[in-house]
Amino acid sequence: MKKRIIDTSVFCGILGIAMMILFHNYIFGDRYFLFPNVVTDGVVQFYPDYVQKASKGIGSFFSFSYAWGSNFKVSNPFELLITSFGGAHVAYMIGIAMVLKCMLAGIFFYGFLKEKGMTRVTSTVFALSYAFSVQVIGAGCWKSQAELAIIVAIFLWAIERGKKKRGIVLFALGILLTILCLGLYFKLMLIAFLALYLVAELYQSNINVKRQFTAKQKRIIILGCALCMLVVMGVLWYKLQDVFQSYRFQAGVESLGQEWKKTFSYKNIQIIGTAIIRTFAPNVLGIPGANEYYGSDTGWYIGDGTYYCGILTILLIPQIFHRDTKKRNLVVAVELGISSIIMLCPVFRLVLNGFSNDIYKLSRVWVILIMLITAAIALDEMITGKRQLAGKRLIMTWGATIAIVLVMCLKLQKHMYYYDVCIYLVVSALEVLLLWIYGKKGEKSTKLIRSGMVVLVVFEVLSLNYKFINNSDAVTKEAWITGYYNDGTKEILEQSQKDMLFERVDKTYQSVQLNDSAVQGYYGTAYYVGGVGKSSFTDFALSTSIPTLKGIPGWCLGTTGNVYLESLFSVNKIVANSDNCASYGFQLENNSNDKYLYKNRNVLPLGFCYDKAISQSAFEEIDASDRAESLLEYAVVEDGSDIFKDFQTEPKEKRKSEPVYTDEIASYGIGTNIGLPVEVTENETVVVEIEDSQEVSAQVAWTTEEGKFGYRYASCYEQNGKTKVEFSGQNGIRNIVIYSNSGESDLHLDKVRISVYQSEEYYKEFEKNIAERKSNVLQLEQCTEEYICGTIQVEKAQLLFFTIPYGAKFKYYIDGEEVKKEKVDMAFTGIYLPKGTHKVEIVY
């Protein structure tokens, strides 16, 4: 026991020194572990999420500052660490949490290897390789990736201790962290891997199940397992409904047929080649943030497309195979075969990675563990004298890796990062030399060679990881304080008079990206939730042509410029970075430090009434360009809804205004200037309609002859085939140009129509609908993110609508009695409101 404590202390000391060298900039606060260009998610998704949680503390809560309103839960211990010192320290604490994750991953994996009976040197070498593997360091920039590495190591240690009937505490810790830290897909992957690991361990052992248990005990075990599986499957099936309905899952399933065809494509060969070369050295295609190539088309995320877990690991894997270990040979061959299939086949990559992409985010940890455990067994058997080094096999393995590196150098040349190439060549050569000497050694040189292995691995993890961890893209403390979210937005909003208890704010610019509101302290309509997209929000965004970045519904640009949805969503203010708001009904209220604040005279409150409703099927029959406006006249209820059947009607055809000027261009070339023969006045509105059979994400820009300009984002979705943008209140518009968000210059749109209208006439129906909606509104008396209450008087039964997501965990009360909420407008909430005067309460 004493020797084990000393060994573990020595390992922790080595790990701690390596951590201090690698992370000193983050520990002392000179830099923050945020990479705005390389790992965009950290800055634009996770940081705002942590700031939200820092303001609330542990437990569940709701926030309007994120994606039109979202449920949050703070239970992950690492998130608690990051958020426990308040929002002002979140950026710093992200780096500290990363240090802790690396330490824990290494310590728990060290414990597993020691429990498996491996020597101190083997355990130290491969625990260091695990702690500094791409799963922990690179993928750790994303939520739950490093946590997954820690939890798997805990369970593996628990299994080994369980063989000695001592693993109950570790099992409990692993289960607790799994519940607190991992999402559903991670949990499923964890269960699958551990089950396969146990099967492999049982197969290799000589346990005779028939002799271990009586017939009665076996029946009880089988029945108990079956009941547990039923309970687990029941719980999982309920939770999987959200997964099945998500945009990511549905889009992934639709693409499966195409993914098979990519297996032998040049693109897939590029991905595989990148994965292999980066497994030798993760930054060999360039250090992110430096002026170097880093494979933007083949896994540009530093954590993607690589299984890096140490050079020694690669060299030792072939040493595991021996003639007298047939069972183990079969197990290892199957494991490596599965790993190869995951790497080679796009379909398996897509499914195993939760349909997030076709790279390696979720499946990587299993492959890394297989590689590390296999190599660790091989080295340990050499150290303990059970096996001799297969020298020729070692030289062949090393030679093959050198050949691959040299071929890549010849093929890519200037794209290769030769620092990593040199590190790989030197370290691999020295490790081969040490192993060769060890195979031929005399007993006297054993300690020296073992120590040399540890020193080489430490040198490797420091030299290959230092430039990534401390690369130039990492945010400096000074830059974070003076830039990013601190651009004057918060200040101009603080100067504004708040005349509504509840209001949302739109911006014509992005401070960082789409989740600015969560950090800058306002309720917004833009949001970024990665490639996933929330299914109900996605359906709404697609149906109403809300623009998205790169055509991904999870990257929602919000309602800016769409006056119909801005009014619907209680957008009372727009902040612009120039005096060109160009939205009808918005008037300049204030300007300060190059920020301009506009106020919406047509804003609707959080709760208002409809007396007419249409089914979702009828809504989808409305022209895609007119759907957003129709939401101010009709509520959209689910097909077959009984509670609102008295309100249901058929949508009427929209009254069309006569344009002052119109022109239509067929096969419009992206980037082509369209000159207007008339000069638009501030009392006129320019409407640009885009039609295309393919999905298009674009910017529609206007300019004047004096050089003034502005733009709107527009998304033409394939299922709609059309979209439109409107510019109002701007004198002198003479030119319109449409650009592609993806940067394509040779793209052609099927049709572009430009029309100029008298604003008063064009928005006549809109003004009428706004007046009708304002006639019956909820007069708010109190409004927080946990409790909303107000009064309302109606002369007949109405549908009371709230722009609160249907999935939000609110309960609704009328005069103290709970009422059933219904899904209205595809993603939001409505309740049946009887005639009379009522007090309405909404409680989280």
pLDDT of residue 523 exceeding 80: yes
Q: What are the start-end ranges of the H helices in 132-167?
A: 145-162
Whole-number pLDDT of residue 570: 94
pLDDT tops 60 at residue 82 = yes
Name the pTM for this structure. 0.86
- pLDDT for residue 202 is more than 90: no
- For the stretch 54-81, pLDDT in tens is 888 777 888 898 778 888 888 889 999 9
| The pLDDT value given to residue 289 | 41
Residue carrying structure tokens 């939520």 = 143
Q: What is the DSSP letter of 531?
A: B
Q: 530 pLDDT band (50/70/90 cuts)? A: low
pLDDT confidence of residue 579: 82
pLDDT score of 125 more than 90: yes
pLDDT, average across residues 765-791: 93
Q: Tell me what the mean pLDDT of segment 33-41 comes to.
A: 76
Number of neighbours of residue 406 by Cβ within 10 angstroms: 12
Q: Find the range with the poorest average confidence among 105-109, 264-268, 504-508.
A: 264-268
Which DSSP letter does residue 578 get? S
Q: Quick one: pLDDT band at residue 356, thresholds 50, 70, 90?
A: low
Q: Are 174 and 153 in contact (CB under 8 A)?
A: no
Give me the count of residues in the chain.
844
Helix (H) or strand (E) segment spanning residue 396: helix 391-412
Cα–Cα dist 367/336, whole Å: 8
Which of residues 678 and 22 earns the better pLDDT score?
22
pLDDT over 90 at 631, yes or no: yes
State whether the Cα torsion 236-237-241-244 is positive or negative.
Answer: positive
Strand pairing report for 504-507 and 571-576: parallel
What CA–CA distance (Å, rounded) separates 77 from 104?
A: 13
Tell me which residue of 564, 551, 553, 511 sits closest to 529, measured CA to CA. Answer: 553
Least reliable range by pLDDT among 257-266, 450-459, 462-471, 711-720: 257-266
Which of 254-258, 293-297, 449-453 is the least confident region?
A: 293-297
pLDDT band at 277 (very low <50, low <70, confident <90, very high): confident
Tell which wins on pLDDT, 416 or 483.
483
- Lookup: tokens for 692: 């295309």
**Ranges 204-208, 355-359, 405-409, 704-708: which has the least confidence:** 355-359
The pLDDT score that the predictor gives to residue 532 is 52
pLDDT given for residue 16 in this prediction: 93
- Write the pLDDT tens digit of every residue in 711-767: 899 999 888 889 999 999 888 899 999 998 877 777 889 999 999 999 999 999 999
The crossing angle, in degrees rounded to 10, of helices 215-245 and 247-261 is 100
Token pair 């899952």 is found at 249
d(CA 662, CA 658): 10
Name, of 43-47, 262-266, 286-290, 837-841, the range with top average pLDDT: 837-841
The predicted pLDDT at position 292 comes to: 40
What pLDDT digit, counting tens, does each position of 568-579 carry?
999 999 999 888
Mean of the per-residue pLDDT values of the chain: 84
Q: Tell me the C-alpha distance between 780 and 802, whole Å.
A: 12
Judge contact between 302 and 468, C-beta under 8 A: yes
Reported as a single tens digit per residue, the pLDDT across 154-188 is 999 998 988 877 878 998 999 999 988 887 777 87
Work out whether strand 787-794 and strand 822-824 pair parallel, antiparallel, or are unpaired. Answer: unpaired
Confidence (pLDDT) at 189: 78
